[in-house]
Chains A and B, each alone.
Chain A
């Protein structure tokens, strides 16, 4: 069965520090992988996606993610976090017809 695991429920970083949010997936075939961000009281916005080719994917707002098939991972990274990045981040896998989401990681940014 398709599943997504985000092991970190909460992460706190200082503004300007680097960030890595972890995502592990379970899927039988080549997965379609997504990262979404949800600001407080808002819907979800796509940050980036992977479907084939280069395993390092660039997204909006300076985010990038690396697909590692051997580790079944799709971790999200940002070199320097801004206070406006405080939000909840969701990893998702696209399976047959459906999209399955992880439980999310809530990011807090310290000034």
Chain B
């Protein structure tokens, strides 16, 4: 079982570059999430999606964009990388979303450094 797969695992960007963090899940989950984790700050929700074609902002969406063209994929785009976006990024999915007792399934994370 692959579960939630994130690529790449590590990346170094220069200021102003752009990149896409890939996330795919094979569990047919409707709900998908992007979080960033910074030391002492916990996990902050960047964007989430409740199904193909539907996305919404989380707590810290500035500087990021997402799309959800299929149930399986939920890529996160950084258009103009800034040092403040240095973080560990986690993608997660859930069969029924936060208003239920369903847990989140997490990917292994992407460590991004912007220099």
Contacts and interface: CB of A to CB of B under 8 A. Distances in A.
Interface of A: 6, 9, 32, 34, 36, 42-46, 49, 51-52, 90, 92-104
Interface of B: 31, 33, 35, 40-45, 48, 50, 56, 58-59, 90, 92, 94, 97-104, 106-109
A103 B42 contact: yes
Contacts of B48: 97-98
A51 B107 CA distance: 24
14 contacts: A32-B98, A36-B104, A44-B104, A49-B103, A90-B43, A92-B104, A93-B98, A95-B98, A96-B99, A97-B31, A97-B56, A98-B98, A101-B44, A104-B42
Contacts, number: 74
Contact of A44 (B90, B94, B98, B102): B90
Nearest to A43: B106
A4 B24 CA distance: 28
A36 B92 CA distance: 13
Given A90-B43, A97-B48, A103-B41, A43 B98 contact: no
Contacts of B40: 9, 103-104
Contact of A101 (B42, B107, B108): B42
Given A43-B90, A44-B106, A100 B45 contact: yes
Contacts of A94: 97-102
B49 to A, nearest CB: 9
Contacts of B59: 100
Given A43-B109, A44-B106, A101 B100 contact: no
A24 to B, nearest CB: 14
Nearest to B42: A103
Contact of B101 (A49, A96, A103): A49
B98 to A, nearest CB: 4
Contacts of A6: 42
B101 A51 contact: yes
A32 B103 CA distance: 10
A9 B42 CA distance: 10
Contacts of A45: 106
